[in-house]
Amino acid sequence: MRENWLILATGGLFSGILAGLLGIGGGTVLVPLLVTLGYAPIQAVATSSLAILVTSISGSIQNWRMGYFNWKRVSLLGFPAVVTSQIGVYVASRIQPYILLLAFGILLLINIYLVNLRQHLTTKQTSTETQFNPLLARLFTGGAAGILAGLFGVGGGVIMVPLQMLLLKEEIKVAIQTSLGVIVITAISATVGHTVTGNVLFIPGLLLGCGGLLGAQISTRVLPKLPDRTVSFVFRLFLGILSIYVFWQAWQSYSAIAMLNLFTNNIAIRIDL
């Protein structure tokens, strides 16, 4: 038990560093970690939401103190996220675990493409680049982030950062700082929804959150000093590595269900005989 507590606190610290550095909330680390420790995927998603809430509050307070927190940007993305996060919670509790993990892995790969696309468009610097309505773009970005917050327990940052860069033409550091602020809102909504359904494990969640609180304080101080190219590379590399791990977890979950079904069918056949 104590070993698990140490792993949870360390995992929370690492996720907090990633949250402040990449604006992804940390759920992309926490959900696979909790699944590896033996928790059900839906419990991992729900508990991750609680930990993300603690971490994102810590990082956003630090960004605000440093003058990198824009209330208008955060509120315009956060409002639709509050509504749509409950959709994600509803869906997450009604689908097979391996499907949840498989969809998560596909999402990570899509986000690598979105970041690469934005960099390509920035390099071209053409006047014919498609312009999107800022209000609609923010509503869409926030809504998508909310669904993912409830569905995957990731805070929504994995989609908010690329979409802000692509649709709103934000620099990656601004997108990360805004994303972390919105994650506070999405995490509150997702945590409440999962608490009502009884999926949140509070002690593991708070252990992860305490580690994340410290990690976010460290990384939010480092982010402004790093080159945009470095931040972008780390973001894409992390998503690529994590997608491979999540696909492996999805296969493990599917294999376990297949073996259980095979065993059950064999027992049923023997009973009939």
SS (H, E, C) 68-91: CCCHHHHHHHHHHHHHHHHHHHHH
Write down the pLDDT at residue 202: 92
Residue 81 to residue 77: CA distance in whole angstroms: 7
Report whether pLDDT(205) > 60: yes
- Name which of 195, 92, 189 is nearest 142 in CA terms: 189
Share of the chain above pLDDT 70, in %: 84
Angle (CA) 123-127-128 rounded to 5° is 100
Write down the pLDDT at residue 127: 46
Model confidence over 141-160: pLDDT tens digits?
Answer: 888 878 877 777 665 677 78
Give the pair of three-digit tokens for residue 9: 């606190």
- Name which of 241, 228, 247 is nearest 22 in CA terms: 228
Number of neighbouring beta carbons within 10 Å of residue 218? 15
What's the rounded mean pLDDT across residues 172-201?
A: 84
Report whether pLDDT(269) > 70: no
Number of neighbouring beta carbons within 10 Å of residue 227? 9
Angle (CA) 134-174-193 rounded to 5° is 75
What's the rounded mean pLDDT across residues 237-249?
A: 82
Residue 19 to residue 52: CA distance in whole angstroms: 9
Cβ–Cβ under 8 Å, residues 182 and 145: yes
Write down the pLDDT at residue 131: 64
Contacts of 244 (CB under 8 A, 6+ apart): 105
Residue entry with tokens 């993912």: 148
Number of neighbouring beta carbons within 10 Å of residue 257? 13
Residue entry with tokens 């997702």: 190
Write down the pLDDT at residue 3: 59
Report whether pLDDT(39) > 80: yes
136 residue type, one letter: L
> For 269, which DSSP code?
H
Residue 10 to residue 26: CA distance in whole angstroms: 12
Model confidence over 55-113: pLDDT tens digits?
Answer: 888 888 888 988 888 888 888 888 888 888 778 878 877 877 778 778 878 877 887 87
Residue entry with tokens 């409002």: 79
Q: Is 247 exposed, middle or buried (0-12, 13-18, 19+ CB in 10 A)?
A: middle
Greater confidence, 129 or 77? 77
Phi, psi values for residue 26, rounded to 5°: 100, -10
* Residue span of the structural domain in which 25 resides: 2-272
Query: Number of structural domains, the chain?
Result: 1
Contacts of 65 (CB under 8 A, 6+ apart): none
Model confidence over 215-225: pLDDT tens digits?
Answer: 888 888 888 88
Integer angstrom CA distances of residue 131 from 100, 123, 170 = 33, 16, 13
pLDDT band of residue 38 (cuts 50, 70, 90) is: confident
